[in-house]
């Protein structure tokens, strides 16, 4: 009786282990696949939703008039007349326009330095201008954009939004009479 009982226990143990092993080999990969798929689907879904957002046409407004209309009052206020004139007379450009909050986040000493030196201010503002129309939302891999400042910006994307350098780009773009405006959440600073 004990041998039969031992054999049954042994067979039950083998069946139990095979069942556990089968469950582990089937269920675990399925769970991993589902969790990965749902995470990627949300990211991809957000990316495609962002990339397909219609660009709002604000023509006949120029770049600087568009910045004022969009409520980017700090950017409009710091633009020297010569830079504003250059932006409005250039065709097919892209401006990465910082929000008012972006300017507020610059340390006060640095903001004073930038505002007090016309050459530094022009370099910083020129670093926000790409001399062709670009759409940072439609970047699959890191893309480089040369700026009017002669330096490079790097466009990419993360799980939340398109990025230029370390700044998030708003999904909503604006077409003006002479180019595109993309709102960014920080002031882009060139290398000096």
Tokens at 13, concatenated = 């143990």
Span 13-59, pLDDT tens digits: 554 555 544 444 444 444 434 433 333 334 456 778 898 999 999 99
Q: What is the distance between the alpha carbons of residues 41 and 43, in angstroms, rounded to a whole number?
A: 5
CATH (one of 3.40.50.300, 2.60.40.4070, 2.30.180.10, 3.30.70.270) for 56-184: 2.30.180.10
Instruction: Give me the DSSP letters along 29-93.
Output: HHHHHHHHHHHHHHHHHHHHHHHTSPPEE-TT--HHHHHHHTT-HHHHHH--HHHHHHHHH-SSE
Span 47-99, pLDDT tens digits: 788 989 999 999 999 999 999 999 999 999 999 898 999 999 999 999 999 99
User: SS3 of 155, please?
Assistant: strand
């Amino acid at each position: 009786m004990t041998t039969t009982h031992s054999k049954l226990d042994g067979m039950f143990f083998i069946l139990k282990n095979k069942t556990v092993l089968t469950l582990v080999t089937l269920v675990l990969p399925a769970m991993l696949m589902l969790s990965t798929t749902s995470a990627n689907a949300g990211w991809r879904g957000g990316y495609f939703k962002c990339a397909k957002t219609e660009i709002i046409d604000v023509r006949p407004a120029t770049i600087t008039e568009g910045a004022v209309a969009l409520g980017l009052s700090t950017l409009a206020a710091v633009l020297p007349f010569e830079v504003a004139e250059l932006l409005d007379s250039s065709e097919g450009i892209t401006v990465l326009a910082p929000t008012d909050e972006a300017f507020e986040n610059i340390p006060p000493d640095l903001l004073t330095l930038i505002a007090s030196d016309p050459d530094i201010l022009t370099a910083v503002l020129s670093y926000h201008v790409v001399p062709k129309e670009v759409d940072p939302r439609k970047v699959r891999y890191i893309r480089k954009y040369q700026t009017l400042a002669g330096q490079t910006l790097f466009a990419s994307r993360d799980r939340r939004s398109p990025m230029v350098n370390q700044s998030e780009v708003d999904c909503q773009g604006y077409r003006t009479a002479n180019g595109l405006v993309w709102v960014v959440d920080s002031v882009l600073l060139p290398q000096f």
